[in-house]
Structure 1
Amino acid sequence: MTNVSVIGAGSWGTALAFVLAENGHDCLIWGRRQEQTDEINESHTNTAYLAGCRLPAALRATSDLEAAVRHAKILIVAIPTKGIREIARELDGLIDRPAILVHVSKGIEPDTQKRITEMLAEEIRPAAREALVVLSGPSHAEEVVLRHPTTVTVASENAAAAEEVQNLFMNSYFRVYTNEDVLGVELGGALKNVIALAAGITDGLEYGDNAKAALITRGLAEISRLGVKMGASPATFAGLAGMGDLIVTANSVHSRNWRAGNMLGKGQTLEEVTEGMGMVIEGVRTTKAAHQLAARYGVSMPLTEALYSVLFEDHAPREAVDWLMNRDKKKETDSSGS
């Protein structure tokens, strides 16, 4: 049994805490709202994020961040990207021994274009970090707590830490692989949200299977092109954190990004969609960051540019599709652009 704390009581943090508790670990989950942690402790439910799920009785929750940090040397950080720096600063002031920090969010910070491991490294002093690990892959929280077979990958520059995290989570329905390509795993997990948003738009426009298949395929080419230019391994984008995560996120009603895109395709504004979702839509912020990365690295990313024009330049979705379809002809294997 290992002491583990999950920092963040949203759907994914709760699902991972569910797995850890079922594996026999002493898992403490932290959430900011006392009423939510009381519900987890007293009713063994988290209805705001995982309605209908019965949590293990052994899983405990707290709204005291210091208590959560003190409880374990392995911290699972399950906070939306926009809140990473704030929580990292809080953790930095509380960690009194080197901790393994495992982040499970999928995003890139706009303007700085920093990945989450980079943000954590900037905000948490080296003496407090035994290792930084990223967990990513095709995984809906709603299916994990139903014990449906799920497979993910963990990546770290510290191979021993990656294997330790692999061992924590592995069971009969949650399979974990290790990977050394931290850059590729983080980029794949973040950038697929951009393509998932676009996939939701095509479904909202009722463009059918042909358009959806083309979007996913060319979207993966776009993600790979940027990732390789930045130094990631091409093989990573053909794996769980690339193709696998893209397929599940672009095709499922469980996906917030797909649902948001679907509403945009049906005519809602971004403001209406954001208000209606009630949860963070990582793909919106990541689209802005991806747009900036494409310019920074001189990489052609037309699908990303088209989505950016819809989200931030008030272009209609159909106009963006028309622009994509009427660009100059190219070879499919041309690495310079989609």
Structure 2
Amino acid sequence: MEKVAVIGGGSWATALVKILSENKSEIHWWMRSEQDVQHLRTYRHNPRYLSQVSFDLDYVKPDTDMQAVIAAAGWVILAVPAAFVEQALSNLPQDTFAGKVVVSAIKGMVPGQNMLITDYMESRFLVPNSHLLVIAGPCHAEEVALEKQSYLTIGSHEPETAEQFCQLLRNRYVKANPLDDLDGIEYCAVMKNIIALACGIARGLNFGDNFQAVLVSNAMFEIERFLDAIMPQHRALSGSAYLGDLLVTAYSQFSRNRTFGNMIGHGYTVKSAQIEMNMVAEGYYAVQSIYELNKKLQVDMPITKAVYLILYERISPAVEFEILKEKLK
């Protein structure tokens, strides 16, 4: 029996615990709230997210002791929001992850440091890049809960390790495949949330499907330009780990980034949208990181710039999108 630690109590963490535990892996699940842990032990479901999913406690071991959870497993999945990853891991010794494979299920960057999660783990905890993986979609937690057919891509520098992790995930409704582009997948996962914000803002401003199609098409070129500048490598960006993940985040009713953007387009302030959603939209933090990185790269990124100006410089969404629409082709 493989032993897997899952760090985080949100919807994506819950979905991954469902997949892995139903495949008979032993899951040591860290949740921040003692109340949530006790609820899960008593009632077998997460009270806050995907509460329709029932867990077999022979395989799922919830706990609030992060060090004990990590120590009990060979695989460690990080599934907390990127904005809080430093805080969540702050008390761990540097050698906590020694000998373990660390899997990032976080689709964001470390704010302030503008670092990918895998880069942060390599720098802060000295995890070798051969022991780092990332999970990419297209896949929404809500559809995993409903057991709808889903696809995952596992990015890595070590194909054999990625394939081993894929085997832990595959079941009748989840297909998983390895891909040797850890950095490209991770950056694309960050940027697709920014594009989803833009799509939501456009919808909130009452732009139609025609505009959104052009917006997403231009976004793929924007992502390609950025990846070529920061991490050049031949990539088939029409693949599901890139274009597929972008499309599901840009169009799906389950996309929290699209929902957040939609609220901004309808006139909500950032703060009021965050309070009403009560969930983290990773794109809000990601756009600041990408915008800061691009000050040096000087890549043409009109969509990213527009979202940044709206969220951080408080430029009117209507005004900014009037400017943006003239730049799209």
Q: TM-score range by the shorter chain?
A: over 0.9
Q: Give the Cα–Cα distance (whole angstroms) in 1 for the partners of residues 13 and 73 of structure 2.
A: 16
- Alpha-carbon shift at residue 271 of structure 1 (Å): 1.1
Assess if the C-alpha contact under 8 Å between 1:196 and 1:249 holds in 2. yes
Q: Does the 8 A contact of 1:5 with 1:68 survive in 2? A: yes
Q: Which region of structure 1 is more displaced relative to structure 2, 207-216 or 94-103?
A: 94-103
Instruction: Rate the CA distance shift 1:51–1:81 in 2: closer, same or farther, 3 A.
Output: same
What secondary structure does 2:107 align onto? coil
Distance across 1 between alignment mates of 2:311 and 2:242: 23
> Take 1:172 and 1:306, find their aligned partners in 2: how far apart are those partners?
41
For residues 133 and 235 of structure 2, the distance between their equivalents in structure 1, rounded to whole angstroms, comes to 19
Q: Give, in angstroms, the shift of residue 49 of structure 1.
A: 1.4
Aligned to 2:170: 170
Distance 2:47 2:236 in 1: 35
What does 1:1-338 correspond to in 2, within 5 Å? 1-58=1-58, 59-93=60-94, 95=96, 97-126=98-127, 131-327=131-327
Q: Is the 8 A contact 2:94 2:126 kept in 1?
A: no
TM-score, normalization: structure 1?
0.92
Give the whole-Å Cα distance in 2 for the aligned partners of 1:237 and 1:170: 23
Taking the aligned partners of 2:68 and 2:296, their CA distance within structure 1 comes to 42
Q: Indicate if the aligned counterparts of 1:92 and 1:123 stay in contact, CA closer than 8 A.
A: no
- TM-fit CA distance, 1:113: 2.2
Q: CA shift at 1:253, angstroms? A: 1.9
CA contact (8 A) 1:136 1:185 kept: yes
**C-alpha distance in 2 between matches for 1:236 and 1:182:** 14
Would you say how many aligned residue pairs link Structure 1 and Structure 2? 328
Letter in 2 for 1:125: L
Measure how far apart 1:91 and its partner are.
4.1
**C-alpha displacement of 1:23:** 0.3
Deviation at 1:143, TM superposition (A): 0.7
Give the secondary structure class of the aligned counterpart of 1:237. coil
Residues 291 and 304, structure 2, Cα contact 8 Å, conserved in 1? yes
User: Are residues 67 and 109 of structure 1, via their aligned partners in 2, closer, same or farther at CA, if it must alter by over 3 Å?
Assistant: closer
CA drift at 1:294: 2.2
Distance in 1, Cα, partners of 2:314 & 2:70: 44
Give, in whole Å, the separation in 2 of the partners of 1:274 and 1:73: 35
> Which residue identity is paired with 2:26?
D
Tell which deviates more after alignment, 54-63 or 9-18.
Answer: 54-63
Question: For residue 292 of structure 1, what is the amino acid of its counterpart?
Answer: E
Deviations 1:212-247 (A, max 9, x none): 111111111111110111124352532222111111
107-116 vs 265-274, greater mean Cα deviation: 107-116
Report the Cα distance in structure 1 between the residues aligned to 2:127 and 2:194, rounded to whole angstroms: 32
Distance between the aligned counterparts of 1:311 and 1:290, measured in 2?
13
Deviations 1:163-210 (A, max 9, x none): 111111111111111111111000110000000001011111121101
Q: Which runs of 5+ in 1 are unaligned?
A: 333-338
Report the RMSD for the aligned CA atoms in angstroms. 1.8
CA distance in 2 between counterparts of 1:87 and 1:111 reads: 16
The aligned counterpart of 1:336 is none
Distance (whole Å) between structure 2 residues aligned to residue 262 and residue 47 of structure 1: 27
The separation in 2 between residues aligned to 1:2 and 1:90, in whole angstroms, is 26
Are residues 277 and 96 of structure 1, via their aligned partners in 2, closer, same or farther at CA, if it must alter by over 3 Å? closer
Return the letter of the residue paired with 1:274: Q
Change (3 A) 1:156 1:248: same
Q: Is the 8 A contact 1:28 1:60 kept in 2?
A: yes
- Provide the C-alpha distance between the structure 2 equivalents of 1:237 and 1:41, rounded to a whole number of angstroms: 43
Whichever residue aligns with residue 166 of structure 2, its letter is Q
Secondary structure class of the residue paired with 2:177? strand
SS at match of 1:296: helix
8 Å contact 1:183–1:232 — kept in the other structure? Answer: no
Query: CA separation in 1, counterparts of 2:15 and 2:56?
Result: 11
SS of 1:293's equivalent? helix
> What secondary structure sits across from 2:131 in the alignment?
strand
Question: Partner letter of residue 73 of structure 1?
Answer: G
The 10-residue stretch of structure 1 (179-188 or 289-298) with the greater mean CA deviation from structure 2: 289-298
1:233-292 Cα shifts (integer Å, max 9, x gaps): 352532222111111111112111011001111111111101111121110111111112
Q: Name the % identity.
A: 32
Mapped contact 2:77–2:104 kept (Cα < 8 A): yes
Q: Is contact 2:114–2:293 with CA below 8 Å preserved after alignment?
A: yes
Distance 1:310 1:220, change over 3 A: same
What is the rounded CA distance, in whole Å, between the counterparts of 2:47 and 2:212 in structure 1?
Answer: 33
